[in-house]
Amino acid sequence: MPQQRTIISQGASVIHIEYVHDSVAEDKWGAYYGKLQITPHYTCDVSFVGTQMVLKQHLLVDTYTQKWQTGASCKAIDIATTQTYDIKVVNGALKVIPVPGSIYTVETSEDPDRSETTNTFTHINDIVKGIKAKIYNYSRPLINEIQLDQLENFIFPGGKVFSYSSARFSNYQDLVCSITYLET
C-alpha cells in the first residue's frame, strides 16, 4: 500500500503516489556477519492535459550486501517512464488509448561489476542479476487501453438520446464532452 497518496483538486496534476520499503536481513555468528538490504522506491504521477492523460512512473531499487567486513551497494533498478494516453470517443465508447511512440524511458540502473574479490565476499553481482530478473518487467507501463463505457449511464440535461464527442479535461479535472442530442 502506498505510504503517500495525494489527490490534487485543481490544475493538470491529479494524483501522486509514493512508496518506500526497507527490507533488511542480517545474521551474526561468531566472527561471521552477513547482511542484505533491499530498498524499493516507487513514485507515480498522473496528470490530465486537454485530451490527454500523462502517466509518470519512477522505480528505484537500492541494494546493499555485506559479508564480514566487505560491503557493496548498487542501484539495481533505476527506471523513469513517461507515457501519454489519448482520451477519445471511438465508435460511441469513451476510451483511454496509449499514444503510439509516446513512451519515454530514462534508465540509470547500475550493473555492479565489482571485483572478483569483492564479489566473492558480497555476491553483489549475482544478487543484482537476480533482482533485475524478477523485477525488471514491472517497471514498464502496463496500461494498454481503458474503456470508460460506464459513462453511458450518466443522464445529461434533457434526458434525451445523445451522442458525445471531443472528450477533454477542464482545469478542475472534470471530464468534459460535447453532446449532440439525437432526434428519435
Q: pLDDT value at position 138?
A: 66
For residue 31, the enclosing domain spans: 4-147
Q: Kindly state whether residue 169 falls inside one of the protein's structural domains.
A: no
Nearest Cα neighbor of 177 from 148, 142, 134 is 148
Residue 161 lies in a domain: no
- Identify which has the larger pLDDT, 62 or 174: 62
Residue 175 covered by a domain? no
Q: Is the CA virtual torsion 162, 47, 39, 132 positive or negative?
A: positive
Asked whether residue 55 is domain-assigned, the answer is: yes
Cα 11 from Cα 23, distance rounded (Å): 36
- DSSP code, position 150: G
Residue 173 lies in a domain: no
- Contacts of 159 by beta carbon, 8 Å cutoff, 6+ apart: none
How many distinct structural domains can be found in the chain? 1
Question: Would residue 46 count as lying in a domain?
Answer: yes
Please give the Cα distance from 93 to 91 (Å, whole number).
6
How confident is residue 143, by pLDDT bands cut at 50, 70 and 90? low
Give tens-digit pLDDT for 92-133. 677 788 888 888 888 888 877 767 777 777 777 887 788 878
The number of beta carbons lying within 10 Å of the beta carbon of residue 63 is: 22
Judge whether 160 lies within some domain: no
pLDDT band for position 146 (50/70/90)? low
**Residues with Cβ within 8 Å of residue 126, at least 6 apart in sequence:** 119
Instruction: Let me know if residue 36 belongs to a domain.
Output: yes
